[in-house]
């Protein structure tokens, strides 16, 4: 897959993982695991990028005697997810057309 | 490997970089390992899942801009002993011009490659233009009844078009390859600079 494309897709995935409520590193990876495998390093880069783009905020809280970072989605982040969903409605109908064409020729 | 050994080795390898470039990342890994252990994964497994020290080193280096690495090296060099500084300053009328000369040569050689590529590109454009001229001449010859010569011009024009296309294709491949070579060299230089850093 095109690297830029995958990068953008993973960004939206991570945003979705924190869409319904704040989450933390390991939980994000676990939640995404049934759908896509994400390495720790990749997740770190994505979280940093999203934070710079103001699509999420970070808060540090104590948990079990150690510090944990919780990531919280922002309005920009939610807007990005909506943008993704709209983009892909179009891509899905193109896909339907492409695969339909193939079936007709069989 | 235990979590602490892993983090220590990583910190060691990254000692050539300014702390703020990797401390946050290491905290992230530390948190991740702790969460995995809590989830039932063994410490060894948790550490392994992050990746090898070399892999992570390469990833981090990749993200730090070249300038920052050079800046950090220079910043460190300020800690050197007095006599070393004196020697550098005293010897500067010698090594400064030499360094400038070397850099000038390297940079101009590098730019020359690009200039040559551009020249080839311009050559192929001129071939296309000549081909247009060839077609015009062909039409002119045909009109005056010189069909064989007109055909010759058409043939020559197509030949030029074909040659021009070949050159452009070749240039694109070479340019891409050269660009990748440049990027690889920068990456390699970064690694070299950071590695030498931990000898300080």
Q: How far is B172 from chain A (nearest CA, A)?
A: 20
Give the SS3 label for residue B196.
Answer: helix
Percent of the residues in chain A that have a pLDDT greater than 70, as a whole number: 94
d(CA A89, CA B3): 44
Query: Per mean pLDDT, which of A15-19, B39-43, B53-57, B93-97 is the most reliable?
Result: A15-19
**Cα A72 to the center of its chain, rounded Å:** 13
Q: What is the DSSP letter of B174?
A: H
Helix, strand, coil percentages in chain A from 3-state DSSP, rounded to 5: 65, 15, 20
Under the banding of pLDDT at 50, 70 and 90, the label for residue B196 is: low
For the ranges A12-21, A94-103, B10-19, the one whose mean pLDDT is highest: A12-21
Give the model's confidence band at A78: pLDDT under 50 very low, under 70 low, under 90 confident, else very high.
Answer: very high
pLDDT digits over B75-103, tens only? 666 666 677 777 878 888 888 888 899 99
Residue A57 touches partner B, C-beta closer than 8 Å: no
Query: ∠ CA A55-A31-A95 to the nearest 5 degrees?
Result: 75
Residue A28: closest CA among A6, A7, A50, A13: A13
d(C-alpha B134, C-alpha A19), whole Å? 65
Asked if A77 and A57 count as a contact pair (C-beta separation under 8 A), the reply is: no
> Which residues of chain B have a CB within 8 Å of the CB of A26?
31-32, 35-36, 39
Pick from A37-51, B8-22, B34-48: least confident: B8-22
Q: Read off the pTM.
A: 0.60
E strands, chain A, are 23-24, 56-63, 66-73
pLDDT at residue B77, as a whole number: 67
| CA neighbours closer than 13 Å in the CB half-sphere of residue B48 | 6
Residue A5 pLDDT greater than 50, yes or no: yes
* Cβ-Cβ contacts under 8 Å, B38 against chain A: 64
Tokens of B91: 């010897």
Asked if A40 is an interface residue toward chain B (Cβ–Cβ < 8 A), one would say: yes
Rounded to whole angstroms, the Cα distance separating B73 from A89 reads: 50
Residue A39 to chain B, least CA–CA distance (Å): 7
Q: Quick one: average pLDDT of B31-41? A: 89
Give me A40's structure tokens: 């720790």
Q: H-helix or E-strand containing B32?
A: helix B23-38
CA atoms within 13 A on the CB side of B145: 0
Say which range, A4-13, A54-63, A75-84, B112-121, has the weakest mean pLDDT. A4-13
């Amino acid at each position: 897959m095109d690297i830029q494309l995958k990068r953008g897709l993973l960004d939206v995935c991570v945003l979705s993982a924190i869409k319904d409520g704040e989450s933390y590193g390991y939980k994000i990876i676990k939640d995404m695991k049934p759908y896509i495998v994400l390495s720790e390093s990749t997740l770190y880069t994505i979280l940093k990028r999203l934070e710079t783009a103001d699509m999420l905020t970070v808060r540090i809280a104590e948990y079990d005697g150690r510090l944990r970072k919780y990531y919280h989605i922002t309005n920009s982040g939610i807007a990005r997810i909506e943008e993704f969903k709209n983009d892909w409605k179009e891509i899905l109908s193109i896909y339907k057309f492409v695969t339909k064409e193939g079936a007709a020729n069989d | 490997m235990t979590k602490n050994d892993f983090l220590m080795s990583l910190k060691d390898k990254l000692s050539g970089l300014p702390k703020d470039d990797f401390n946050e990342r290491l905290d992230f890994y530390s948190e991740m390992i702790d969460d995995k252990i809590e989830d039932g994964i063994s410490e060894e497994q948790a550490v392994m899942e992050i990746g090898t020290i070399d892999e992570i080193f390469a990833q981090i280096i990749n993200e730090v801009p070249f300038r920052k690495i050079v800046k950090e090296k220079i910043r460190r060099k300020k800690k050197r002993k007095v006599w070393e500084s004196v020697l550098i300053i005293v010897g500067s009328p010698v090594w400064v011009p030499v360094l400038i000369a070397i850099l000038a040569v390297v940079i101009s050689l590098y730019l020359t490659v690009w200039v040559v590529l551009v020249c080839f590109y311009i050559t192929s454009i001129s071939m296309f233009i000549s081909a247009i001229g060839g077609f015009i001449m062909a039409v002119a010859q045909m009109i005056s009844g010189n069909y064989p010569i007109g055909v010759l011009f058409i043939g020559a024009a197509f030949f030029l078009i074909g040659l021009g296309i070949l050159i452009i294709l070749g240039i694109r491949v070479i340019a891409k390859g050269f660009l990748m070579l440049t990027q690889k060299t920068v990456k390699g230089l970064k690694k070299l600079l950071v590695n030498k850093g931990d000898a300080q």
